[in-house]
Amino acid sequence: MKTVQITGTGSALPERIVTNDDLAKLVDTSDEWIRQRVGIIERRAAETETVSSLAAQACENALSMAGKTAEEVDLIIVATCSPQELLPCAACQVQSKIGAEGATAFDLNAACSGFLFALQTASAYIQAGLYQNALVVGSEVLSKLMDYQDRSTCILFGDGAGAVFVENKEAATFGDRQAGVIMPSFVQGANGAKGDVLSCREGRYEGHFVEMDGQEVYRFATRQVPDCIKQSMEQMQMTADDIDLFLLHQANMRIIDSVAKHLKADRTKFPTNLEYRGNMSSAAIPVLLDELARAGRIKAGDRLMLSGFGAGLTYGACMVNWGFKA
């Protein structure tokens, strides 16, 4: 039996590192204040890198792991809320950069939930038989949208890209676990009435930056993320004990702690990289996934629960049965 499987992961980060001490020179903050409130130590900020250049590098790394060439790619979806230009879309630029001439390409914007929405979209296309494989990318250059006089936002965000290659493939079985992206586990949602709590008005133009009501976002995340994870697990008739790792959107350490507590799950099942990456919006989950895979922290047969939330407000979750060792 064939299933939609992740067979390659990749990531790319800008070279420039911005520490908390660097930000303290620009705005009234400190390393201690940032660490205590969100758990971030440093993040990356693009100088010459762009959304499409980072995405292309992440895609090439994912293809290399999967043992595929760009010519074999059927579909490219780039999830981003910070493209460097409106037209052409970032996915078409990625198609050109990597030489995937035969691939359909388009962008998707669900902010920090974007990668999950794109993964679910690609999986549905593949399951419907429209395509056999896809590159799914989350890529952001949020540093260009920051007001470096607003310590409530500029300390949080970082730049980067993460990608996965998914394909329709004969499923390997590990005990009672069949490798693949588990379609019945998909949960997606939005609450547009609350959209103004995290916004960016015409962010490409000078004077328009990301604005956030941090308390409202925190309340939304700590309520909605555990709820959508529970929905996903219930659809699979599973509990937190059945999940090996929870890969959450990397926004705030206190949010991750709260979600683990609400789920009554072992906190060690919630790996993080936000300490050194910051909040990379749609790139957060795929970059974490790639780093864990390449470090050998995910083994074949592991059940992974992916869940994110973001501007919109959007949220989502899905389960993946891991099928290989990187």
Which of 36, 284, 46, 28 is closest to 143 using CA atoms?
A: 46
Active site residue 279: yes
Q: Residues 59, 133, 249, 273: which is the catalytic one?
A: 249
Are residues 292 and 244 in contact, defined by beta-carbon separation less than 8 angstroms? no
Find the DSSP H helices in 29-112. 31-38, 51-66, 90-98
Q: What angle do CA 172, 178, 181 make, to 5 degrees?
A: 105
- Six-digit token string for 222: 């700590």
For 145, which DSSP code? G
Active site residue 112: yes
Active site residue 208: no
Q: Residues 133, 279, 318, 321: which is the catalytic one?
A: 279
Q: Residues 59, 92, 112, 318: which is the catalytic one?
A: 112
Q: How far apart are CA 44 and CA 266, in angstroms?
A: 30
Q: What angle do CA 179, 122, 4 make, to 5 degrees?
A: 20
Burial 63-95 (b: 16+ CB within 10 A, else e): bebbebebebbbbbbbbbbbbbeeeebbbbbbb
- Find where tokens 């490798």 sit: 179
Q: Beta strands 75-79 and 133-140: pairing type? A: parallel
Residue type (1 letter), 235? Q
Residues with catalytic roles? 112, 249, 279
